Structure 1
């Protein structure tokens, strides 16, 4: 861990500390160009650029006597596609970084160039475009919770099964909230940032007793890729999710809370919006207690939704829409993994099939 990371307390402080150490021509990108990105995303970009510029001043022959902060746009113009290839090769051979990390850092550099070309009109050429692309092999397996495992996890949240005595002391205070959160993840495939940002008025429940088929239950989520346009998407949830959400909100109302526009959907006992880290820690506790596993994160709940939804519906285009993927290529991993898994299971009696 570097000095910057040790001294900074929050992600925002870490971001500003790194940006202050970068060349001045990067500032507008972080303050204006990436305004719709989360702090964590911007922090990732900043770290990647810091890594690239440190390599540039140490290995490129164009500016041997400069520090990172001294680099100018004229310096940036001297970098060629071959220089980008050498940067990627150095990361791979000297740092043994995975292809996914190499591709991300290469992309971070490209994004900065594109901003300086298209938005600020200060550059004319992006050398990353002319460099060699990095192929990322898509795995044909997915780590996820099968339905029976999901039931074990949900039982732990409902009844405290497997929790320690200390954890049980607080369980009654949180179980309705935690159950609503975890089931909503498993029921919809929402990303953690999307769920964490939900307000109560983002939830729509329309019950039509005369025509049940016309009933609707959904949340209006600001999905990845739509933050700049502020275009909200209807993410539908089931009647079971509806019941858990109602139980949780009824509990809050019974304790004297009144809801208004902008009231967070999921809160701490103090009424503050639950943070992403708190959601992650909550899930980690239940997964450890119920399944004794350490490989199930909130993102794996999203994978669990995708895998079980595809098994049930076998409709990749609907899954793409439910997942909020721009391209069906991102959804294909779940179809491939599910089809392969089912093929292996069905091959159990292969001798009698011949």
Structure 2
């Protein structure tokens, strides 16, 4: 059966492609909610209005996974379907049951698909997210008197490794130059890659320059439209997490690569279907590039800069880290970089600041008190 394509009546200022994608995710959330117990309905409303859409989807996935575990792996319910699990069943769940689910079952379980068993493993970061989903659920159910006890205090902590600045993967400035030289000249590409490069080099260059200039998230770049750009005013519009609209200033480098791509390489409007006519970055099939295609493109060019295989190339998120550390190394404050990259917390930006090499040496060398050593004077 062919899946029905939703038609969206968009009355907001947000571009249709972004509204369409959000509604597709909303539909996925609704499908999961249909499989969950009806006594959770008010919790679904809470998620709908209280958290980001991607978080809502992640929580629902985790809760459905837990409900399936209750059916298949425990004696905590006599229900045969997840939606049949009762309020009384949830009242019988103790903290130790959650700890067994997260600490034992989730670390290693088997999924059978088409008769082939696959071992699935979750490490601490994934386990912490599942713990968070269930903690939010049980706190809500206790608050609304659906369960009688707040069992969340008894859920075992999960220790996450502290992010280490030295572990942040990024390109050095000379590697960025090499990457941009590759996309400019084709040097380092295979014969097969060169065939495609001839048709997409201006597009690829524009994508890479946008990533390393602004540290855009993959989703933010993939959603860009022709109408996002106002060259007369020298800015372009992006939509951050939680639908936050932001105007970003254009510099000369970015303006040039975008204009070159549009004028030299991008297909003309009469060759593009109505659905993709406003999309900035197009595939060779003249449709909006997917996040997967952009990710593969970035891995290909970064692997050449790093001197490694395409599978070991860097993701777009590593170019976000590259932008952050490059800006800090060029003297911009962590608060300016936090603002540009849209970090919720400045401590995230501080991780990139720690990458500035020999920062103490640079400071004291430029701050001599004795005149004979002060080169500035």
TM interval, shorter chain, is 0.7 to 0.9
Greater relative contact order structure (CA < 8 Å, 6+ sep): 1
Q: 1:221 matched to which residue of 2?
A: 238
Q: TM-score by structure 2 length?
A: 0.69
Return the alpha-carbon distance in structure 2 between the equivalents of residues 128 and 100 of structure 1.
Answer: 19
Q: What residue in structure 2 maps to residue 306 of structure 1?
A: 324
Deviation, 1:93, is 6.9
Aligned counterpart, 1:162: 188
Matched residue SS, 1:198:
coil
- Larger gyration radius, structure 1 or structure 2: 2
Q: Provide the C-alpha distance between the structure 1 equivalents of 2:203 and 2:217, rounded to a whole number of angstroms.
A: 17
Partners of 2:303 and 2:313 within 8 A in 1: no
The change in CA–CA distance for 1:68 and 1:186 in structure 2 (over 3 A counts) is same
Report the aligned-residue RMSD.
Answer: 4.0
CA distance in 2, matches of 1:123, 1:65: 18
C-alpha distance in structure 2 between counterparts of 1:197 and 1:117, whole Å: 40
Q: Does 1:153 align with 2:179?
A: yes
Partner of 1:276: 291
Q: Distance in 2 between matches of 1:149 and 1:334?
A: 17
From the superposition, tell whether residues 31 and 249 of structure 1 become closer, same or farther in structure 2 (CA, over 3 Å).
farther
| Contact 1:22 1:68 (8 Å CA) reproduced | yes
| Larger CA deviation: 71-80 vs 321-330 | 71-80
SS at match of 1:313: coil
| 1:79 and 2:121 are equivalent in the alignment | no
Q: 1:134 aligns with which of 140, 158, 163?
A: 158
CA offsets per residue over residues 42-80 of structure 1, 9 Å max, x none? 664444224323444466664366654431344334434
1:289-328 equivalences under 5 Å are 289-291=304-306, 292-293=308-309, 294-328=312-346
C-alpha change, 1:296 and 1:253, in structure 2 (3 Å) is closer
TM-score by length of 1: 0.73
SS at match of 1:233: strand
Post-superposition offset of 1:237: 4.1
Q: Which moved more, 1:190-199 or 1:41-50?
A: 41-50
Aligned counterparts, 1:172-251, within 5 A: 172-206=198-232, 217-224=234-241, 226-227=242-243, 231-251=244-264
How far 1:139 moved relative to its partner? 2.0
Count of paired positions: 319
Offset of 1:320 from its aligned partner? 1.0
Where structure 2 has 5 or more consecutive residues not aligned to the other structure, the ranges are 1-23, 110-120, 363-377
Q: Matches of 2:106 and 2:212 in 1, distance apart? A: 37
Quote the residue 2:66 is aligned against: 52
C-alpha change, 1:168 and 1:62, in structure 2 (3 Å) is closer
